[in-house]
Every structure is written in C-alpha cells, then in structure tokens.
C-alpha cells in the first residue's frame, strides 16, 4: 500500500491558488488603472477575494513549512533526499515571495488612496443623485398641488 506524499497534494493546491490569486491580482490592477469610476461592487469583490485567497495560501505555506521542518528534524524516519527537501523549501520561499509582492502592492498607499477615492466618488455621486431625485419629487409634488388647486377653483 502506497501513501501519497501530502506535500505534493498541498503543493498542487497552493499552485492552483496562486494562479487564481494572480488572475484576481491582474484584474485588481486593471481596475486601479481605469480612468473612470469603476464598479464599486466589482472592486470590493475582487479586493476581498484576493485578500482571502492570499491569506489561505499563507496558511497552506505555513503547513508546508511545518512538514519540511518535521522531515529535517527526523531524517531517519522519512526517506526524502536532502535535495528534495531543498526543492520543497525553495518552492515555499518562491510562493511566499509571490504572495508578499501582491500583498505589498495592495497595501501600497497609492493603491489604497485610489480605492478610497473611488468609494468616496461613488458615495458623492449617489448622494447627488439622491438630492436630484428629492428635488424632482418635490417639484412633482408642487405641480400636483397646483393642478389640484386649479381643479378646485374651476368647480
């Protein structure tokens, strides 16, 4: 009976998650570069999904790091060559750097200021639309009142 090395199972999941994160990161970057106000829901969804994916990858990388440490502290129990252990450590390091790069860009003050400005502009636009709508409603009510008054006068 052969047991599959759990490192490779988690490694595959991490690679898939990093690919997903890179796609989200690319879209997030596109949203930041748009000159017009971007869809608030899409920006928020993309930002949250990217943050959650990166957090999940970090947890998986911590698990992989723990398994590497276990193998290193007890080499007689595991029949994994030192070169394989080094390759595993290299993979974890490479993935951590990729995650850190995305996280650093997301927390960059310029990016944060764009997101905040975009959210403020959307709120301002909605408030302005709300005020215009209220003005129109008030004008409509005034017109209806005048029409009702004229009808009463005619009778």
The CATH code of the domain that includes 84 is: 1.20.58.90
| Tokens matching residue 55 | 């957090």
What is the span of the domain harbouring residue 59?
A: 41-122
Whether the pLDDT of residue 16 is over 80: the answer is yes
Report if residue 97 sits inside a domain: yes
Average pLDDT in the 114-125 region? 65
Give the model confidence (pLDDT) of 59-115 as tens digits. 999 999 999 999 999 888 888 999 999 999 999 999 999 999 999 999 988 888 777
Report if residue 79 sits inside a domain: yes
User: Tokens 């997030």 map to which residue?
Assistant: 28
Whole-number percent of the chain with pLDDT over 70 = 71
Report if residue 136 sits inside a domain: no
Whole-number percent of the chain with pLDDT over 90 = 47
- Report DSSP state, residue 5: P
Report if residue 153 sits inside a domain: no
Q: How many domains does the chain have?
A: 1
Cα 118 vs. chain centroid, distance in angstroms?
16
Residue-level pLDDT at 1? 33
Report if residue 103 sits inside a domain: yes
CA distances, 120 to each of 56, 70, 90, 100, 112 (Å): 30, 50, 43, 28, 12
Report if residue 109 sits inside a domain: yes
Q: Per-residue confidence at 143, pLDDT binned at 50, 70, 90?
A: low
Alpha helix ranges (H) inside the chain: 6-33, 40-73, 82-106, 109-154
Report if residue 100 sits inside a domain: yes
Buried b or exposed e, range 67-97, using 16+ CB within 10 angstroms: bbeebeeeeeeeebeeeebeebbebbeebbe
Burial (CB count within 10 angstroms: exposed 0-12, middle 13-18, buried 19+), residue 142: exposed
51 or 121, which is more confident = 51
> Which residues, in sequence order, are CB contacts of 30 under 8 Å at separation 6+?
none
């Amino acid at each position: 009976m052969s047991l599959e090395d759990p490192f490779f199972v988690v490694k595959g999941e991490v690679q898939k998650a990093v690919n997903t994160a890179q796609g989200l990161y690319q879209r997030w970057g596109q949203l930041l570069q748009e000159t017009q106000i971007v869809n608030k829901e899409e920006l928020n969804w993309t930002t949250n999904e990217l943050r959650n994916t990166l957090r999940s990858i970090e947890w998986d990388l911590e698990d992989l790091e723990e398994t590497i440490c276990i193998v290193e502290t007890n080499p007689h129990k595991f029949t994994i060559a030192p070169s394989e252990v080094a390759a595993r450590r290299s993979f974890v390091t490479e993935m951590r750097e990729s995650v850190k790069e995305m996280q650093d860009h997301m927390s960059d003050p310029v990016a944060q200021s764009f997101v905040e400005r975009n959210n403020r502009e959307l709120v301002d636009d909605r408030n302005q639309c709300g005020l215009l709508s209220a003005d129109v409603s008030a004008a409509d009510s005034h017109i209806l009142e005048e029409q009702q008054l004229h009808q009463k006068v005619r009778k």
